[in-house]
Amino acid sequence: MDMAALTFLALGLPFLAALVAPVLARLLGHNAAWLLALAPAGVFAHFLRFVPDVGNGEVVTGGYAWIPSFNVSFSWLIDGLSLTFLLLISGIGALIVLYSGGYLKGHPHQGRFFSFILMFMGSMQGLVASDSFLMLFVFWELTSITSFLLIGFDHDREAARRAALQALVVTGGGGLLLLAGLLILWNVSGITQFSLLLSFGAELKQSPFYLAALLLVLGGAFTKSAQFPFHFWLPNAMEAPTPVSAYLHSATMVKAGVYLLMRLNPVLGGTPEWQVILPLFGAATLMAGALLAVRQTDLKLMLAYTTMSSLGLLVMLTGLGLPHAIEAATLYLVAHALFKGALFMVAGIIDHEAGIRDLTRLGGLRSAMPLTFAIALAAALSMGGLPPFFGFVAKEEIYAALSSFELRSAVFAAVAILGNALMFAVAFAIALKPFLGPKVNTPKHPHEGPVLLWLGPAVLALTGLSAALMSGLTHRIVSSPMASAITGKPTPVEISLVPHIGMPLLLSGITVAAGVAFYLNLARLRGAMATILADIGWGPDRGFDQFMRGLVHSAVAVTRRLQSGRLDVYMTVTFLLVAFVLLAIPLHYGEFPRAPFFAADVPVHELAIMAIAVAGLLAMMIAPDRLTAIVSLGIQGFAVAMIFLLYGAPDLSFTQFMIETLSVVVLALVMTRLRLSPSDHRPWREKVPDFALALACGTGFALLLLRVTGVPFDSSLTAFFNEYSKTIAHGANVVNVIIVDFRGTDTLGEITVVMIAGLSILGLVRLRAGALKRAAAAEVVVQEEDLEERV
């Protein structure tokens, strides 16, 4: 197989694995993880083969036409940026599958969980590999949907369901904004693929639609990457099982927004708007996340809020537009994926083995879980930005970007120092507090987890260490290609573990000092934050509930208004509209018919039939009770059927006879069901408007018919059917041939409608509650059906 087919296979492999996962889990139990992890591992191996080429600055594109008529393709773009993401997603994905095997061991729906998480993995891969806009959008929404399934995995719990729905609404809604933004980009540039868009140049930034496109794209990116004030869904998503939090809500999905910003940086970035909006929102998210993290005592929630602040930091760095900022974002993104994934899994191990994950009720686990302690410590050292871990390298680069002596960079440097120091404190709180100190009694007897549990975090922590020790190699294969892809020009990354005396090291030192101080005063900080938050009271999370409530209320109000549930209102509105269309439109265009032409020699029998029709109508109007009125209406119908017969339309006439008969029967039956009084006792002031409306509709139809018959008759269709009905369709009855052959598909649709109408009426009749009202609705359907068939 060639490389393109293999890449296609690699992008589809997680979905295939998701299909077989439930069966494998049933056969092998939790050990199915070993087999299932082969899928992401295979994907990882496949994409590893791109490393040499992409490292040399090559961009690999490929794909297949998907909907050629709309210029939509299934195509991928593999450059430094997407390759790094692909390696992170598949590599961490393999570890997460193993971890889920241990974490959900014995869970009755473990197979379903494997299936969901592999589907998510496939979606996330597709997202970052997408070259075409629409493919990116499809996978973007797929990640939202799979994330919904994963957060709501414990669907028995109300909180999980709410969190799942919240994440879906926020990120799915953002996805729609993104779609609008991408469509604007498409319209302005005429390009549907990122690889071509990147070479489109600066025209986009001068387009009058630039700001609109930017804001829409940011709407998508900020909701996905949990930027303030859309951050609230991320901590709530911690309702998901821990493997999900480790994978989706730290290493991969929440980075999709950052990915998008990085992907579009060469095309949309560098403008004043970009350099104001991104750093502002990023900085706000960084601070809010760090402060909220300090407030928490739940391990997962602390990690969730620090994830939020890390995302803020990444957005801020992406938007700064300073030298070294993009390089710093690159390094921090990779470092964060490694240490945060590991820490989440550690939190999961503690929760799994000790039965609790509240920081204040844990302690002294170091002797029971030495390996977990070591992993936690390694990850926390990286998160705190201490050598010799990759987090240190990343942080040095961040401060290198922020250490120029001007006001803007100084302000953001201060924000970064404060945020990093708080994250430092949280990192060590998680890595030290549960393990050190006196032993605290926990719900479960704590011991070291099985290999499936510790393998993932251990590999991630070791990777964080070796990536820093071999920083030259890391930069050559990951950091430099990725930074070059984001900036759109060759951007080598050179920073290493060797400390170089200067501003960045000084800022690092300040951060560590402040972090230690925060760590020592964590309890006091937590209390202070709790007081402040209680004083504020309202937050976006509650705002979301209010929004949803308002949405439901307004939907109910609108529906009540439009769907009153009263049949007479519906009918009045319908016929008012009919009268309006029939009368107002000819009036507007001056299309009324000329005075009708009466033939001089109408045969006596025709006059007699018409007289019967008119007599039937008059009888209906003066009928003393309803049943007489219905039967009188039938007289008129039969008279019309006679006229059809006289003018050579036996089929139509036949049908009219039968419909009239059945209408009388059905209407009479409905009448008895409705238990109406035998006659209409309404006062005149209620009858007159109905009468006027009926008159208007009748006049309108009469005028329309006169106008239509006044136009010269186009007989080409008649000629066609007469000529071909026998030769092509083997039938002499043209009407029937049209119904069952020439326009057979129409008829198929019509009988389907008849069937559905019959079913609905049956259902309505069977409903006991409110039976009276519902039978009235049935009557309308029957009449509509009659009208349709008559036509």
Residues that bind other proteins in the complex, under the rule CB under 8 A: 650-651, 654-655, 658-659, 661-662, 665-666, 669-670, 672-673, 729-733, 735-737, 739-741, 744-745, 747-748, 751-752, 754-755, 757-759, 761-762, 765-766, 771, 775, 778, 782, 789
Assign 3-state DSSP to the chain and report helix, strand, coil percentages, each to 5.
75, 5, 20
Nearer to other proteins, 361 or 673 (CB): 673
Nearer to other proteins, 41 or 739 (CB): 739
Q: How far is the CB of 569 from other proteins (least distance, A)?
A: 23
Cis before 370? omega within 30: no
Q: How far is the CB of 666 from other proteins (least distance, A)?
A: 6
Residue 295: name the closest of 365, 235, 224 by CA. Answer: 235
Q: How far is the CB of 229 from other proteins (least distance, A)?
A: 53
d(CA 146, CA 117): 8
d(CA 167, CA 223): 9
Q: How far is the CB of 723 from other proteins (least distance, A)?
A: 16
d(CA 780, CA 431): 71
d(CA 228, CA 226): 6
Q: How far is the CB of 675 from other proteins (least distance, A)?
A: 10
Nearer to other proteins, 488 or 731 (CB): 731
Nearer to other proteins, 239 or 786 (CB): 786
SS3 category, 636: helix
The token pair at 614 is: 């008119």
User: Which 8-state DSSP code applies to residue 56?
Assistant: T
Q: How far is the CB of 681 from other proteins (least distance, A)?
A: 22
CB 125 within 8 A of CB 11: yes
The token pair at 584 is: 């107002």
Nearer to other proteins, 527 or 744 (CB): 744
Q: How far is the CB of 649 from other proteins (least distance, A)?
A: 9
CB 680 within 8 A of CB 626: yes
Nearer to other proteins, 628 or 747 (CB): 747
Q: How far is the CB of 776 from other proteins (least distance, A)?
A: 12
Query: If DSSP states are collapsed to H, E and C, what string results for 424-457?
Result: HHHHHHHHHCCCCCCCCCCCCCCCCCCHHHHHHH
Q: How far is the CB of 233 from other proteins (least distance, A)?
A: 45
Q: Write b or e for each residue in 387-418: b if 16 or more Cβ atoms lie within 10 A of its Cβ, otherwise e.
A: bebbbbbbbbbbbbbbbeeeeebeebbebbbb
d(CA 612, CA 629): 15
Nearer to other proteins, 506 or 665 (CB): 665
- How far from 131 is each of 135, 137, 198, 683, CA to CA, in Å? 7, 11, 11, 70
Q: What torsion, rounded to 10 degrees, do the Cα atoms 353, 97, 23, 150 define?
A: 80
Nearer to other proteins, 568 or 789 (CB): 789
Q: How far is the CB of 721 from other proteins (least distance, A)?
A: 14
Q: What is the largest CA-CA distance in the chain?
A: 117
Nearer to other proteins, 686 or 784 (CB): 784
Q: How far is the CB of 654 from other proteins (least distance, A)?
A: 5
Could you give the count of Cα atoms lying within 13 Å of 341 in the half-sphere of its Cβ? 35
DSSP, residue by residue, 357-403:
-BGGG----TTT-HHHHHHHHHHHHHHTT-TTSHHHHHHHHHHHHH-
Nearer to other proteins, 381 or 778 (CB): 778
Nearer to other proteins, 505 or 735 (CB): 735
Q: How far is the CB of 678 from other proteins (least distance, A)?
A: 15
Nearer to other proteins, 48 or 659 (CB): 659
In the block, residue with structure tokens 């430092």: 424
Q: How far is the CB of 694 from other proteins (least distance, A)?
A: 25
Phi, psi of 75 (to 5 degrees): -135, 150
End-to-end CA distance of the chain: 60
Tally the residues of the chain: 791
Nearer to other proteins, 202 or 755 (CB): 755
Nearer to other proteins, 169 or 667 (CB): 667
Q: How far is the CB of 651 from other proteins (least distance, A)?
A: 5
CB 641 within 8 A of CB 653: yes
Nearer to other proteins, 206 or 745 (CB): 745
- How far from 635 is each of 42, 389, 627, 643, 648, CA to CA, in Å? 79, 95, 13, 13, 21
Exposed (0-12), middle (13-18) or buried (19+): which is 174, by Cβ within 10 Å?
A: buried
Nearer to other proteins, 61 or 783 (CB): 783
Q: How far is the CB of 674 from other proteins (least distance, A)?
A: 10
d(CA 28, CA 185): 49
Nearer to other proteins, 558 or 754 (CB): 754
Q: How far is the CB of 749 from other proteins (least distance, A)?
A: 10
Residue 355: how many other CB atoms lie within 10 Å? 12
Phi, psi of 786 (to 5 degrees): -60, -45
Which residue pairs from 406-409 have beta carbons closer than 8 angstroms and sit at least 24 positions apart in sequence?
409/320, 409/322
The token pair at 375 is: 């992993």
CB 267 within 8 A of CB 197: yes
Q: How far is the CB of 698 from other proteins (least distance, A)?
A: 26
Residue 449: name the closest of 115, 101, 764, 180 by CA. Answer: 101
Amino acid at position 446, single letter: P
